[in-house]
């Protein structure tokens, strides 16, 4: 169990190399977590807004901003614990890091977000396409930093992940299958009938 938690922290630190500013803004942890089968990961972001003088507020009823106080927010990336079932550690690492990059990019964009007008379905689809492309680019950048060749087509990567996850689902289904109970044959002679 501890082995898996250690790998999440190690792989997260590698991912933060392609998100240098995010590591300064947040305390970020990653761990395996029990999530729904349909969810590979999720991120929880808590920002701290502590630019007040706490003592002045509690003792005098008003506070003055403290410009010197710098606190970081907190991010927790929860990775579906089903991914621990992938036996090949390097393949597991690639999938986990890809999901981490997806979540880190979401956190980075959430920071840059401003209140925007409602977007049309077409704009949302374009934004999602742009987001997915940036995840792919940063994933390839991380692969290069780790000495691996970049993947040329995003579609091939998506297909590879889909196949791996399908095999994983099949493997888990096999483990959890319970043998069916055979129906007991009823001997009609043993059934007593009331007269």
Burial class (CB in 10 A: 0-12, 13-18, 19+), 139: buried
Alpha-carbon distance 95 to 92, whole Å?
5
**The pLDDT of residue 176:** 77
Could you report the per-residue pLDDT of 116-140, keeping only the tens digit for each? 556 677 777 788 889 999 999 999 9
- Mean pLDDT over all residues of the chain? 81
Question: Is residue 22 a contact partner of residue 73, using CB atoms and an 8 Å limit?
Answer: no
Asked if residues 30 and 79 have their Cβ atoms less than 8 Å apart, the reply is yes
pLDDT value of residue 68: 47
Q: Could you give the percent of the chain with pLDDT greater than 70?
A: 75
User: If one looks up domain 1-109+132-146+156-163 in CATH, what number appears?
Assistant: 3.30.2010
Task: Using alpha carbons, list the distances in angstroms from residue 76 to 44, 67, 82, 86, 141.
Answer: 5, 27, 18, 22, 23
Q: Minimal CA–CA distance to 6: which of 133, 108, 96, 67?
A: 96
pLDDT at 171 over 70: yes
* Residue 84 pLDDT: 92
Tell me the pairing of strands 73-80 and 26-33: parallel
Q: Is the pLDDT at 14 greater than 90, yes or no?
A: yes
With 50 as the cut, is the pLDDT of residue 115 above it?
Answer: no
pTM over 0.85: no
Average pLDDT over residues 34-39: 88
In the chain, where are the structural domains located? 1-109+132-146+156-163
176 vs 191 pLDDT, higher one: 176
Separate counts of helices (H) and strands (E) for the chain: 6, 3
CA 96 – CA 80 distance, rounded (Å): 9
Band of the pLDDT at 37, cuts 50, 70, 90? confident
């Amino acid at each position: 169990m501890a082995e898996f938690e250690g790998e999440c922290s190690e792989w997260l630190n590698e991912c933060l190399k392609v998100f240098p500013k995010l590591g300064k803004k947040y305390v970020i942890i990653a761990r395996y977590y029990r999530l729904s089968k349909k969810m590979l990961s999720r991120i929880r972001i808590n920002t701290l807004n502590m630019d007040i003088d706490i003592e002045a507020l509690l003792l005098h009823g008003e506070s003055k901003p403290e410009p010197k106080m710098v606190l970081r927010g907190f991010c927790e990336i929860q990775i579906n614990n089903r991914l621990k079932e992938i036996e090949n550690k390097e393949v597991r690492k690639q999938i986990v890091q890809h999901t981490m990059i997806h979540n880190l990019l979401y956190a980075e964009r959430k920071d840059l977000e401003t209140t925007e007008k409602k977007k049309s379905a077409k704009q949302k689809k374009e934004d999602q396409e742009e987001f997915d492309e940036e995840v792919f680019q940063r994933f390839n950048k991380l692969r290069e930093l780790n000495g691996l060749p970049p993947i040329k087509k995003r579609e091939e990567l998506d297909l590879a992940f889909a196949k791996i996850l399908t095999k994983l689902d099949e493997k888990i289904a096999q483990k959890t299958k319970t043998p069916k109970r055979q129906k007991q044959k009823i001997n009609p002679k043993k059934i007593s009938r009331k007269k």
